[in-house]
Amino acid sequence: MRGGKLASVGNREVVNSQINSGNSTLLFVWEDNNAVTEMIAEKSQPIVHRYKIPVTGGFSAQVRLLIPPGADLSGAIKYPMLVYVYGGPDSYQVTEKFNIDWGTYLVTNKSIIYAAIDGRGSGLMGNDMLFAGYRHLGTVEIIDQINVTRHLQNKLPFIDRARTAIWGWSYGGYATGMTLAMDLKGVFKCGMSVAPVTDWALYDSIYTERFMGLPTVADNLQGYEQGQLLNKVDNIKNKMYYLIHGTLDDNVHYQQSLMLAKVLEQKDILFRQQTYTDEDHGIAQSRAHLYHSLENFLDECFQTLS
């Protein structure tokens, strides 16, 4: 076949893949996803809202909100919001990809707005935005999570600014801790970090040095110190914080969370800590316990009943 092209079409993010000819004539359907469509037809699905929010440098952050079905958007009812962050270089969360996960559950069963924000440093939006945080991890991507969330709180009357939280895993766990530490305006009430990096000098060099250079005076020691969560924890005292890690994590070593816990304890900052014995970075064997624990903490943060 010459001149053929693969197209994805669909509604409400459930897509089918089809092969078209060069003049867009349908040749055959590669995958119709009818089974998925039928499976979710009788299920509650979030309302999806997308926004572009201006951020520093002339860029725009991409935002996706999953809103509870049947939600009153007039502002008469305020809904709590949980921001999911990853935030690592060239990562992105806001796509057209169909997905059902813990966030979907929170939206449809707990009436929580679930947000994702792709700010500076994210992929798919050009090299200038991608390299905005080069050699400065823990800066622009964190600032954008805070400022964009505050913008949403100010502009959307149905968001409860008193019940806004953030959570993430791996780089997202780091970004969560940094966000709470750098949030001086009280945008977030609480945060949950799973397997976070806390000191880039202790993460694997093939990743870290690609984005940060070397932790030397001659190269980028200042960038490493600026991006170290251990140096910025004082403001976490004003937040509810949950720190989670597996002891067998061979990606982000358990040492990273222990160092953070030690600093928090020495500064008399109250927090909750969960250790998963013999679990690696994915905490796969205790996943149900993990999500039930996160939900329990979130209920306390939002002061709702389970």
The SS3 of residue 129 is: helix
The SS3 of residue 71 is: coil
Annotation says 245 is catalytic = no
Rg (CA), the chain: 21
The SS3 of residue 229 is: helix
The single residue of 170, 193, 199, 257 carrying the catalytic annotation is 170
Annotation says 91 is catalytic = no
CA angle 61, 66, 70 (to 5 degrees): 140
The count of other CB atoms within 10 Å of the CB of residue 15 is 19
With a CB cutoff of 8 Å and minimum separation 6, the contacts of 11 are: none
Selection from 162, 68, 77 nearest residue 106 by Cα: 68
Which alpha helices (H) appear in the chain, and where do they start and end? 34-40, 102-110, 127-130, 140-155, 171-182, 205-212, 221-226, 254-266, 287-302
Selection from 90, 95, 34 nearest residue 62 by Cα: 95
The single residue of 183, 249, 253, 257 carrying the catalytic annotation is 249
Selection from 193, 170, 164, 175 nearest residue 294 by Cα: 193
**DSSP class of 101:** S
Residue the block writes with tokens 């707990």: 110
The single residue of 280, 281, 286, 293 carrying the catalytic annotation is 281
26-31 vs 47-55, strand pairing mode: unpaired
Cα–Cα distance measured from residue 270 to residue 242, given in angstroms and rounded to the nearest whole number: 10
Active site residue ranges = 170, 249, 281
